[in-house]
């Protein structure tokens, strides 16, 4: 990666320097003329060769990542034969496509190859204009004696002769802007072009249509997705730019997640220290403006703004938030944008786009921003209240707290690019891995500082923990003792490579664990404070749970936001499960505030001093048994000004069940139908009802047939219309 600084200044006569009085035109290196290229570096005039050498050398020094693509291009330059003579570089705006083309240009220069680069926004709107631009780059004028008057014939003649002597590359940047010329390019320009000429088409979207459907074109195209840079690339880029502090590199990774333009803007802001055109948060607006160029009309922009408040969305969810129907065509336009990607639960805006769009909305239309947030929160609260299986809606609990949690919680949940981790129960077989993890935590403990951005206020929150405080979360954690309980209390969090990256110790409350919990120094004070009748309620059979006690949720690398969010997500499976949930976390402000933010009640009279032997540590309790769940949700929603009656969810579900009875659904069909109404995917329905995915689809087909509908959207509309009568 690199920082671009291009000064385009009119050429003028300098004392002692002979300049040709001819028209200038812009190129990659600055202003060039038919003779010398003159640029200013410091207070000196330098010629084209000098300027290109110094700029290209520095650009190459600052380039990070892209080794695979550069190696592939190097093989082409070295003469390796290829049947793929059209390379399609695609990726979201600002990810680094133009930077990669620049790197290819420098490689081509070293091999004395011809590299012709055109920006599709600037090369004209007709095929003739594009050909003239190519001819202009090839030489000052048409080749004498070529006998070709038409630009297309002339450029074919020149290029097809040139490739006999050296490598030739034609690169078209921002290819999405060439919609009117795409057919001409494919059917007229490329058909008669020598196949040894490499054509690079760089744009936001992958080539589709005829490029895919025609076997002849498909076998000639190589699709190359331009991905974000890795964490190591980002840290390396920061160091190369002179920002050697480890904290800044980590912060750069957290804020940009390897998005090229974001990295350049953030580093520029830091280096200019307020003397330049950007301030600390201003670069995100520059980014949003770049992406919003894809959005052609106001209606679509409103959908983008609403979608930016959701970590994932689908058509029904978005319709609820904007309070109007969304056509399939409009939703299709939204999901086709380059900064929107498909995920398991629907679609998601690029994380940086979400952050920058929210930031703009907060400042531009604060009331509308607040209203949309309320609609989002009410949607997820309704999903939770309508569910019989509370633990199956952990995802909705997590989404809800993106809107009603305190600033620290929102900042953590605002983390982009969630990684895939696997949770594995602790057993005799993997006990050694768990013990090794704890030893590694003790050996590698160090003080840390991490930051997060609150999406509601835009505030940058900083948290610092000492080495000693970093070990609090595993204090008194005895894995062998917990394994002997036989209650599957401990889960190991593993990365895709199988290494343990964290763990959770959440102990069920029942007949088999009550005595242990009463004697444990961390949970005992609360259990002993209960009245006999209250304690008796907790003595359910060992196969059941009256609730849970959180002993520990710990991760290996606390500066990794994705891992931190994954660890915290363990709590959401229990919070709205209609049971008793209590914890006694380390006596630190972050834990105290975050538990209050999650709706726990602090019991200051129930405490211990087990973490450091001197600091009183309170117990936090969250009770959602019976009607307390509605009261809990209502209280949490009141934080953002939403009033929700405690009985609303129950009556709504009863109405839905009454509607479904009219269609003579079987009991299993009714269960599947209610899951669909709650917004569950087919996979989630299968897990909840303990049936196969095929069986879910079979029941859905039967439900749709009985209601005479064709899809989920029509089914929801049919149920809602019957409810309203």
**Could you report the per-residue pLDDT of 91-112, keeping only the tens digit for each?**
887 788 888 898 999 999 889 8
Calpha distance 37→106 (Å, rounded): 17
The beta-strand segments (E) located in 524-655 are: 547-555, 580-583, 601-608, 617-623
Q: Of all helices (H) and strands (E), which one includes residue 480?
A: helix 479-484
Of 64-73, 408-417, 567-576, which has the strongest mean pLDDT? Answer: 64-73
Q: What DSSP string describes 401-460?
A: HHHHS-HHHHHHHT--S----EEEE--TTTHHHHHHHHHHHHHH---EEEEEE-TTT-PE
| pLDDT class of 306 with cuts at 50, 70, 90 | very high
Q: Are strands 490-494 and 500-509 parallel, antiparallel or unpaired?
A: antiparallel
List of residues 6+ apart from 16 with CB closer than 8 A:
none
Average pLDDT in the 577-583 region?
91
Contact 113, 82 (CB under 8 A): no
Query: Facing residues of 506 across strands?
Result: 550
Helix axes 648-661, 366-385, angle to 10 degrees: 60
The per-residue pLDDT for 148 is 60
Average pLDDT in the 51-78 region?
83
Would you tell me how many other CB atoms lie within 10 Å of the CB of residue 679?
24
C-alpha gyration radius of the chain: 31
pLDDT at 584 over 80: yes
The tokens for 250 are 């980590």
Q: Lay out the sheet containing 547-555: strands in order across.
A: 422-425, 490-494, 500-509, 547-555, 580-583, 617-623, 601-608
The beta-strand segments (E) located in 440-521 are: 448-453, 460-465, 490-494, 500-509
Average pLDDT in the 175-185 region?
81
Please report the sign of the dihedral spanned by the C-alpha atoms of residue 266, residue 267, residue 271, residue 275. negative
472 SS3 class: helix
CATH number, domain 63-225, options 3.50.50.60, 3.40.50.300, 3.40.50.2300, 2.40.30.260: 3.40.50.300
* pLDDT tens figures, 116-137: 988 877 666 788 888 888 888 8
The tokens for 263 are 């990295």
| pLDDT class of 13 with cuts at 50, 70, 90 | very low
16 SS3 class: coil
pLDDT at 287 over 80: no
Question: Of 44 and 293, which is predicted with more confidence?
Answer: 293
Q: Which of 164, 163, 142 is nearest to 151 (CA)?
A: 142
pLDDT at 466 over 80: yes
Calpha distance 140→421 (Å, rounded): 58
| pLDDT class of 570 with cuts at 50, 70, 90 | confident
CATH number of the structural domain 422-638: 3.40.630.30
Calpha distance 583→473 (Å, rounded): 12
Would you tell me how many other CB atoms lie within 10 Å of the CB of residue 283?
24
Contact 522, 495 (CB under 8 A): no
Contact 282, 274 (CB under 8 A): no
Contact 476, 521 (CB under 8 A): yes
The per-residue pLDDT for 653 is 54
Would you tell me how many other CB atoms lie within 10 Å of the CB of residue 698?
15
Question: Of 310 and 644, which is predicted with more confidence?
Answer: 310
Contact 590, 564 (CB under 8 A): no
Worst-scoring range by mean pLDDT, 66-70, 360-364, 378-382?
360-364
Average pLDDT in the 636-648 region?
66
Q: Of all helices (H) and strands (E), which one includes residue 63?
A: none
**Buried b / exposed e across 333-351, counting CB within 10 Å, b at 16+?**
bbbebbbbeeeebbbbbbb
Average pLDDT in the 369-397 region?
82
pLDDT at 330 over 70: yes
Q: Which of 550, 484, 548, 547 is nearest to 522 (CA)?
A: 550
Average pLDDT in the 141-165 region?
76
Would you tell me how many other CB atoms lie within 10 Å of the CB of residue 225?
10
Calpha distance 483→490 (Å, rounded): 7
Contact 358, 369 (CB under 8 A): yes
| Phi, psi angles (nearest 5°) of residue 116 | -105, 120
Q: What is the mean pLDDT of the chain?
A: 80
The per-residue pLDDT for 457 is 67
Worst-scoring range by mean pLDDT, 209-218, 376-385, 684-693?
684-693
Whose tokens are 């009141």? That residue is 638
3 SS3 class: coil
pLDDT at 434 over 90: yes
Contact 347, 314 (CB under 8 A): yes
Fold topology of 648-723: Arc Repressor Mutant, subunit A (1.10.10)
| pLDDT class of 692 with cuts at 50, 70, 90 | confident
The per-residue pLDDT for 458 is 62
pLDDT at 282 over 90: no
Average pLDDT in the 210-216 region?
90
Question: Of 351 and 53, which is predicted with more confidence?
Answer: 351
Give the chain's count of helices (H) and strands (E).
34, 20
The tokens for 62 are 């600052």
pLDDT at 200 over 90: yes
Calpha distance 143→135 (Å, rounded): 9
Query: Facing residues of 25 across strands?
Result: 32
Query: Facing residues of 347 across strands?
Result: 313, 342
C-alpha to C-alpha distances, 480 to 73, 267, 424, 477, 560, nearest whole angstrom: 55, 48, 16, 9, 28
List of residues 6+ apart from 378 with CB closer than 8 A:
637, 642, 644
| pLDDT class of 504 with cuts at 50, 70, 90 | very high
Worst-scoring range by mean pLDDT, 267-281, 391-405, 575-589?
267-281
Contact 679, 669 (CB under 8 A): no
List of residues 6+ apart from 649 with CB closer than 8 A:
382, 385, 386, 630
Would you tell me how many other CB atoms lie within 10 Å of the CB of residue 700?
20
Query: Facing residues of 203 across strands?
Result: 90
Q: Which of 715, 718, 669, 674 is nearest to 696 (CA)?
A: 669
Average pLDDT in the 312-331 region?
90
Average pLDDT in the 283-294 region?
69
The per-residue pLDDT for 713 is 76
pLDDT at 22 over 80: no
| pLDDT class of 416 with cuts at 50, 70, 90 | low
C-alpha to C-alpha distances, 90 to 47, 98, 182, 204, 708, nearest whole angstrom: 35, 10, 15, 5, 42
| Phi, psi angles (nearest 5°) of residue 96 | 130, 20
The per-residue pLDDT for 580 is 92
Would you tell me how many other CB atoms lie within 10 Å of the CB of residue 31?
17
Q: Where are the domains of the chain?
A: 1-45, 63-225, 231-280, 289-402, 422-638, 648-723
The per-residue pLDDT for 294 is 76
DSSP state of 188: I
Of 26-30, 54-58, 524-528, which has the strongest mean pLDDT? Answer: 524-528
Whose tokens are 């935590």? That residue is 441
The per-residue pLDDT for 414 is 62
What percentage of the chain carries pLDDT values higher than 70? 81
Calpha distance 497→451 (Å, rounded): 27
Calpha distance 2→233 (Å, rounded): 12
Q: Which of 551, 504, 505 is nearest to 526 (CA)?
A: 551
Half-sphere exposure of 164 (CA within 13 A, CB side): 5
Enumerate long-range contacts of 531-539, CB under 8 Å, 24 or more apart.
538/509, 538/510, 538/514, 538/580, 539/510, 539/511, 539/514
Q: Which of 680, 674, 711, 677 is nearest to 344 (CA)?
A: 680
Average pLDDT in the 358-372 region?
85
Would you tell me how many other CB atoms lie within 10 Å of the CB of residue 276?
11
Of 213-227, 352-366, 373-387, 677-691, which has the strongest mean pLDDT? Answer: 213-227
């Amino acid at each position: 990666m690199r920082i671009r600084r291009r000064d385009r200044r009119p050429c003028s006569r300098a004392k002692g320097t002979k300049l040709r009085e001819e028209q200038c035109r812009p190129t990659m290196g600055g202003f060039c003329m038919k003779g010398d290229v003159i640029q200013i570096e410091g207070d000196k005039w330098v010629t084209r060769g000098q300027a290109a050498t110094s700029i290209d050398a520095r650009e190459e020094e600052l380039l990070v990542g892209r080794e695979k693509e550069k190696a592939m291009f190097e093989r082409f330059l070295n003469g390796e034969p290829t049947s793929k003579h059209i390379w399609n570089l695609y990726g979201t705006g600002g990810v680094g496509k133009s930077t990669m083309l620049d790197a290819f240009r420098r490689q081509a220069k070293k091999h004395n190859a011809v590299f012709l680069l055109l920006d599709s926004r600037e090369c004209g709107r007709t095929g003739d204009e594009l050909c003239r631009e190519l001819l202009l780059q090839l030489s000052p004028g048409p080749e004498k004696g070529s006998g070709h008057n038409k630009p297309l014939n002339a450029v074919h003649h020149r290029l097809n002769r040139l490739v006999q002597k050296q490598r030739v590359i034609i690169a078209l940047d921002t290819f999405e802007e060439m919609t009117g010329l795409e057919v001409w390019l494919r059917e007229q320009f490329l058909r008669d072009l020598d196949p040894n000429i490499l054509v690079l088409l760089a744009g936001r979207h992958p080539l589709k249509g005829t490029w895919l459907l025609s076997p002849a074109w498909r076998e000639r195209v190589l699709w190359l997705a331009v991905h974000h840079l890795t964490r190591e690339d980002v840290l390396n880029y920061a160091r190369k730019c002179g920002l050697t502090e480890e904290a800044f590199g980590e912060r750069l990774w957290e804020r940009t997640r390897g998005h090229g333009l974001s990295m350049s803007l953030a580093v520029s802001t830091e280096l200019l220290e307020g003397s330049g055109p950007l301030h600390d948060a201003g670069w995100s607006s520059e980014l949003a403006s770049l992406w919003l160029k894809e959005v052609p009309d106001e209606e679509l922009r409103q959908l983008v703004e609403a979608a930016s408040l959701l970590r994932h969305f689908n058509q029904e969810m978005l319709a609820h938030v904007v309070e109007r129907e969304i056509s399939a065509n409009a939703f299709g336009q939204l999901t086709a944008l380059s900064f929107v990607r498909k995920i398991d639960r629907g679609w998601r805006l690029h994380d940086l786009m979400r952050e920058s769009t929210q930031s703009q909305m907060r400042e531009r239309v604060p009331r509308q921003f607040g209203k949309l947030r309320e609609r989002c929160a009410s949607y997820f609260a309704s999903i939770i209240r309508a569910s019989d299986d509370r633990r199956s809606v952990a995802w909705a609990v997590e989404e809800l707290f993106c809107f009603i949690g305190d600033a620290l919680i929102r900042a953590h949940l605002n983390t982009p690019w969630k990684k895939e981790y696997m949770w594995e129960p602790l057993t005799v077989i993997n006990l050694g891995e768990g013990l090794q993890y704890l030893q590694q935590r003790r050996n590698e403990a160090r003080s840390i500082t991490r930051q997060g951005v609150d999406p509601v206020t835009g505030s940058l929150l900083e948290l610092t923990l000492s080495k000693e405080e970093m070990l609090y979360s595993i204090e008194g954690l005895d894995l062998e003792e917990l394994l002997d309980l036989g209650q599957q209390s401990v889960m190991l969090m593993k990365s895709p490579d199988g290494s343990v990256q964290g763990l959770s110790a959440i102990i069920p409350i029942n007949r088999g664990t009550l005595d242990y919990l009463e004697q444990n120094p961390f949970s005992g004070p609360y259990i002993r404070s209960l009245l006999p009748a209250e304690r008796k309620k907790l003595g359910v059979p060992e196969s059941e749970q009256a609730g849970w006690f959180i002993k520990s949720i710990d991760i290996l690398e606390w500066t990794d936001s994705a891992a931190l969010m994954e660890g915290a997500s363990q709590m959401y499976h229990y919070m709205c499960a209609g049971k008793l949930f209590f914890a006694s976390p380390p006596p630190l402000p972050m834990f105290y505030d975050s538990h209050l933010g999650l709706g726990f009640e602090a019991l200051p009279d129930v405490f211990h001093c087990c973490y450091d032997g001197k600091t009183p540590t309170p117990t936090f309790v969250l009770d959602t048994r019976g009607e307390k769940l509605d009261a809990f949700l209502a209280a949490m929603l009141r934080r953002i000004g939403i009033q929700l009656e405690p009985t609303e969810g129950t009556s709504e579900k009863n109405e839905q069940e009454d509607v479904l009875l009219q269609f003579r659904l079987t009991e299993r069909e009714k269960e599947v139908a209610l899951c669909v109404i709650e917004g569950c995917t087919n996979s989630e329905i299968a897990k909840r009802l303990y049936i196969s995915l095929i069986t879910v689809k079979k029941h859905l087909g039967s439900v749709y047939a009985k209601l005479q509908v064709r899809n989920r959207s029509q089914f929801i509309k049919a149920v809602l219309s019957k409810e309203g009568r």
